[in-house]
Chains A and B, each alone.
Chain A
């Protein structure tokens, strides 16, 4: 993701109260400098003295003490880091930074860093993970965050995370993967052919077609094995059970005609219903990504025929509301990814949303 050029970095603690590119980059820089202070890296601190003044990074002396993760989390009032990342409001970051400026003690610094591990921007998460390593009682979970960030859509984040990983866990297998030169055989992360299935009313739209914006995004960033010939699969897009039932048989026929077995399927809206019907009819698939898929009792996958299933959706999707479907899949075999976006049914296939929320790393490999 290209950042806007920063001519004036935002100093501490104000940087933590904004969400612009300049704020994001300033936050990451401040956290990394704090990491130097925590590690008492005198040589690097001398080297960056001028930047520290510009960014007004407070002097921190943790005296080599580690802060218990529970203490920082309970002060922050958050759940432990898990599959679902808790999103904190921007004003909360600003307040924590303000606390840290007033009393730069180990607990205040640890609380800010703990909050930054949940930051919406993965560059800030990576910077926090690197700097927090020497301060938290539970550094192992930070390695997981860094590994995750090496798969970011943002090149700068990938570089920062990989560098951090190399310093903190030089034996990590992910580094070997990154060091391996890509070859046609190893490009992409699976042996499947990926297929994009559009939803209702979308047969005439461009986003899912080869060279369409979302197709191009997936192909270049997530699924290099995405089917990209002109005869991509399409169905009527009709809003009826008959339309979907017909589409399910057409999908099976299309895959058969193209010799594609166990495809990795990415679907939008009722495109997911079409695929689920097809599995009921005997289609075997690889992983299945459902984007803004309405939940209806008649459209359930045959789990014995599918790979891992992820459902990506927004909050209170208005189109699904009108459709009369539910939004939440109750079966635990379907992983839910809820975006912090409201109402917009089409946000889940927007390249900018995929980039912003790093969704490539949230779907099965």
Chain B
């Protein structure tokens, strides 16, 4: 039941953020990326990807705070916007191997997507 409420909360915040642009509602999605529940983490990440480029400012801000960094980088890679390549690139030599790996994979996905018809 807690999971169900958690998902409903994410959806409400997502709608508030998309429709009214409340930044605090968008922040809830970013915070959910570090939830202990994998279902909540996954759903928040999927909603951010579904928001497309609109989510990028929130995600880039999260990278500067190093919040849930590997997952945030994977979300950026999933959105596939070549404009974020320079930002993602700076994490390819990070001291944390999980971050390095996520950044490199995200770059590969963005570059692969850009080449696809």
Query: Which A residues have a C-beta under 8 Å from some C-beta of B?
Result: 200-201, 203-204, 235-240, 242-243, 245-246, 318-319, 322-323, 343-346
Contacts and interface: CB of A to CB of B under 8 A. Distances in A.
Contacts of A346: 38-39
B102 A240 contact: no
Tell me what chain A mostly uses at the interface: helix, strand, loop, or mixed.
loop
B109 A243 contact: yes
Interface of B: 3-4, 7, 38-39, 41-43, 45-47, 49, 70-71, 74-75, 77-80, 98, 101-102, 105-106, 108-109, 112-113, 116
Nearest to A269: B42
A327 to B, nearest CB: 15
Contacts of A240: 49, 77-80, 109, 113
A204 B71 contact: yes
A245 B112 contact: yes
Contact of B105 (A200, A237, A245): A237
Contacts, number: 85
A240 B109 CA distance: 9
B57 to A, nearest CB: 19
A222 B7 CA distance: 34
A333 B2 CA distance: 36
Contacts of B101: 203-204
Contacts of B47: 322
A236 B3 contact: no
A345 B39 contact: yes
Given A201-B74, A346-B39, A239 B112 contact: no
Contacts of A236: 74, 77, 105-106, 108-109
19 contacts: A201-B42, A201-B74, A203-B101, A204-B98, A236-B106, A236-B108, A236-B109, A237-B74, A237-B105, A238-B105, A238-B109, A239-B49, A239-B74, A243-B112, A243-B113, A318-B3, A323-B46, A343-B4, A346-B38
A239 B7 contact: no
Contacts of A239: 45-46, 49, 74-75, 78
A343 B112 contact: no
B26 to A, nearest CB: 17
A318 B41 CA distance: 12
B43 A318 contact: yes
B112 A319 contact: no
B83 to A, nearest CB: 16
B78 A243 contact: yes
A203 B46 CA distance: 15
A249 B71 CA distance: 22
B39 A204 contact: no
Contact of B42 (A200, A203, A204, A343): A200
Nearest to A323: B46
A200 B71 CA distance: 10
Contacts of B108: 236, 246
A238 B105 CA distance: 8
Contacts of A204: 70-71, 98, 101-102
A40 to B, nearest CB: 51
Contacts of B74: 201, 203, 236-239
B38 A238 contact: no
B42 A238 contact: no
A322 B102 contact: no
B110 to A, nearest CB: 8
A240 B79 CA distance: 7
Contacts of B43: 318-319, 322
Nearest to A236: B105
A281 B32 CA distance: 36
A246 B106 CA distance: 11
B46 A242 contact: no
Nearest to A343: B3
Nearest to A207: B38
Nearest to B98: A204
B80 A319 contact: no
Q: Which are the 5 A-B pairs with shortest beta-carbon distances?
A: A242-B113, A236-B105, A239-B78, A238-B78, A246-B112
Contacts of B39: 318-319, 343-346
Contacts of A245: 112, 116
